[in-house]
Amino acid sequence: MMIFTIASRELRSLFISPLAWSILAVVQLILAYMFLTQLDLFVSLQSRLLGIEGAPGVTEIIVAPLLGNAAVVLLLVVPMLTMRLVSEERRSQTLSLLFSAPLSMTEIVLGKFFGVLGFLLIMVAMIVLMPLSLLMGGSLDMGMLWSGVLGLVLLLASFAALGLFMSTLTEQPIIAAVSSFGVLLLLWIIDWAGSNNTGQASELFAYLSLLRHFESLLKGVFDSADVVYYLLFVSLFLGLSIRRLDADRLQH
Amino acid sequence: MTTEDVLIQADQVSRFFGPLRALDNISFEVKKGEVLGFLGPNGAGKSTTMQILSGNLAPSAGRVMISGIDLLDQPKQAKALLGYLPDQPPLYRELTVDEYLLFCACLNRIPASQRRNSLDVAKQRCGLTEVGKRLIGNLSKGYRQRVGIAQAIIHSPAVVILDEPTVGLDPIQIREIRALIRELRADHSVILSTHILPEVQTVCDRVQIINKGQLVLNDTIAGLQQRMRGEDLLVALRQAPELTALEAVVGEGNVTVLGEGRFKIHTAQLEQQAEALAIAAVENGWGLYELMPERLTLEQIFVDITTTETAAPESAEEVA
């Protein structure tokens, strides 16, 4: 209940500022362009694909790249949304309103997290409208589409949790944005390490990579290990955020 | 006095910031319906105390009980009884006054059916009825301060903690806010920190002076006024007599010559001495044109207490 109150305040504040609208507009525009080029590619390939046995379908050619591109674009965007969550409140000293209200730190952190997640879900819904529009002229592999969307949502939840944690660490929103972007990018490319030689270390890095788990979901492979990875990732950083906010009051 | 009457109980509270000792073993109580003024120079530990009482900071040692509930053990229950205005009002500038106060009402778990009502009451008490639809970011500082107070009282908490509520306001707004605080006393206990001395005299029942993290004075306003009564009488005479003649009138008092017919008389019985002097001056034609008991101002008491090291131990006894 309190979580919902904080989340809806967070969401409302986002939409009052032009930030949310401009982010929605820019992301939609860029992804729409990518969607159209992918569609163009498919149309030009269509006649040749017809002759091939087991050729990739419309979902594989259009939807999977679209969601993959959306993930990269949002890797840049999410830190900008999450940077203000706590650091801005700390800087303008509004955090004491939440601290002196009868709320637990868990409620505060979850409220902020779900506020941003709500915004990201709106964004995902708008992105998914594009592939869904293809239903007017043909059919899609729905299983593959929804597994990709699930992957995107889980990925964004992880971005948001990490961004929230970075925001609890500092008073400067920009520092929070830069550091969450840095960590996210590092986790994105961490599987590059030793990708040309096999070893235990590179397997570990590959497992840690945010991208690997997303890729299998994009291919329509639903592995519960991937889902659990994201859930663990989210809970880890939410837990750390709670600890960090708690530490604000304590001795240091 | 029963324990139910004590709404706030701070028990040997200390707080360190690294090696800096911001609060040193502070204990005090606030009873129901009381307005307690917290005085101190900058950096004395006023805001730290307020933050600890409101649960924004954890004390390094000691404990705080709000109406018998430990603030550290059961923070949710204790904080439900608190309303807190920090030195910077915690306002979301992008919201309107109504939206913001409704959000605060939700945070303080006011049931949905009563939210509108408590919003109207809080707005009316703080004189915000006219500005409900305006953005907080566009309000003047005085109005923002009032929104901050409205936020602290919207859930009718038993204890209202106000950290420098009148800072930066113009004199008319200061008077309005003081009137509001006096009004709050009817059904809330109020703790108020300030460095403006007359404010304490006008709104508080009890005063605590804090200096360098230590409580150096804890007294009622009446007690404070008693302290302010000095023991000196200033006399100015046009035809000044011999010093001995004056001393004869004053009796056991101690006369100091200030020059140009002015004298300072130190005595325990101010009123009787003043009367005797006036009679003698008329009878002997000394040409009395000024007779004034010298009162200590609150400022002087404050400066005395906070600057002299020797004053600390004896006033510490009074606290105990």
Contact A2 B109 (CB under 8 A): yes
* Interface confidence (ipTM) of the complex: 0.85
What mean pLDDT comes out for the span A83-112?
A: 90
* Same fold yes or no, B3-227 and B230-294: no
Predicted local confidence at residue A61, as pLDDT: 85
Predicted local confidence at residue A185, as pLDDT: 92
Domain boundaries, chain B: 3-227, 230-294
Measure CB to CB from residue B94 to each of A17, A103, A104 and give the nearest one: A17
Predicted local confidence at residue B318, as pLDDT: 43
Measured in angstroms, the CA of B147 and the nearest CA of chain A are apart by: 13
pLDDT tens for chain B, 320 residues long, are: 455 578 888 888 888 888 888 888 889 888 888 899 888 877 788 888 888 988 888 888 888 888 888 888 888 888 898 899 998 899 998 899 999 999 999 999 899 899 999 999 999 888 888 898 999 999 988 888 889 999 999 988 889 999 888 877 788 888 888 888 888 888 788 998 887 777 888 888 888 888 888 888 888 877 877 777 777 788 888 887 777 777 777 776 778 887 777 888 887 777 777 888 888 888 888 888 888 877 777 677 777 777 764 444 444 444 43
Closest among B284, B294, B270 to B242, alpha carbons compared: B284
Which residues contact residue A212 at a Cβ distance below 8 angstroms, ignoring those fewer than 6 apart?
A: A191, A206
Contact B95 A17 (CB under 8 A): no
Measure CB to CB from residue B88 to each of A16, A93, A250 and give the nearest one: A93
Predicted local confidence at residue B245, as pLDDT: 78
Least confident of A30-34, A103-107, A216-220, B213-217: B213-217
- Show the tokens assigned to B240: 């000044």
Measure CB to CB from residue B103 to each of A9, A99, A249 and give the nearest one: A9
Contacts of B8 in chain A (CB under 8 A): none
Give residue A108's pLDDT band: very low, low, confident or very high (50, 70, 90): very high
Measure CB to CB from residue B90 to each of A17, A96, A251 and give the nearest one: A96
Residue of A nearest to B148 (CA): A97
Measured in angstroms, the CA of B204 and the nearest CA of chain A are apart by: 24
User: Edge-to-edge strands of the sheet including B232-237?
Assistant: B254-259, B262-266, B232-237, B288-294
Q: What is the largest CA-CA distance in chain B?
A: 81
Q: Which CATH number fits domain B3-227: 3.30.980.10, 1.10.1040.10, 3.40.50.300, 3.90.1170.40?
A: 3.40.50.300
Predicted local confidence at residue B317, as pLDDT: 43
Residue A121 CB burial class (10 angstroms; 0-12, 13-18, ≥19): middle
Please state the three-class secondary structure of chain A as a single string. CHHHHHHHHHHHHHHHCHHHHHHHHHHHHHHHHHHHHHHHHHHHHHHHHHCCCCCCCHHHHHHHHHHHHHHHHHHHHHHHHHCHHHHHHHHCCCHHHHHHCCCCHHHHHHHHHHHHHHHHHHHHHHHHHHHHHHHHCCCCCHHHHHHHHHHHHHHHHHHHHHHHHHHHHCCCHHHHHHHHHHHHHHHHHHHHCCCCCCCHHHHHHHHHCHHHHHHHHHCCCCCHHHHHHHHHHHHHHHHHHHHHHHHHHCCC
Q: Do A83 and A163 touch, CB atoms closer than 8 A?
A: yes
Contacts of B90 in chain A (CB under 8 A): 92-97
Measure CB to CB from residue A94 to each of B82, B92, B99 and give the nearest one: B92
Contacts of A5 in chain B (CB under 8 A): 103, 106-107
CA angle B255, B260, B265 (to 5 degrees): 20
Contacts of A103 in chain B (CB under 8 A): 76, 79, 107
> What pLDDT digit, counting tens, does each position of A124-170 carry?
999 999 999 888 887 888 888 999 999 999 999 999 999 999 999 99
Predicted local confidence at residue B1, as pLDDT: 44
- Show the tokens assigned to B232: 């000196």
Contact B103 A5 (CB under 8 A): yes
Q: Do A231 and B38 touch, CB atoms closer than 8 A?
A: no
Backbone angles phi, psi at A109, to 5 degrees: -65, -45
Contacts of B108 in chain A (CB under 8 A): 101-102
Contacts of B60 in chain A (CB under 8 A): 251
The pTM of this model reads 0.84
Measure CB to CB from residue A100 to each of B58, B84, B95 and give the nearest one: B84
Residue of B nearest to A16 (CA): B94
Contacts of B18 in chain A (CB under 8 A): 252
Residue of A nearest to B50 (CA): A100
Residue of B nearest to A18 (CA): B94
| CATH class of the B230-294 domain in this structure | alpha beta
CA atoms within 13 A on the CB side of A236: 9
Contact A101 B75 (CB under 8 A): no
- Show the tokens assigned to B315: 């006033």
Contact B107 A17 (CB under 8 A): no
Backbone angles phi, psi at B88, to 5 degrees: -105, 120
Residue of A nearest to B14 (CA): A251
Chain B positions touching chain A (beta carbons under 8 Å): 16, 18, 51, 54-58, 60, 75-77, 79-80, 82-84, 86, 88, 90-95, 99, 103-104, 106-109, 151
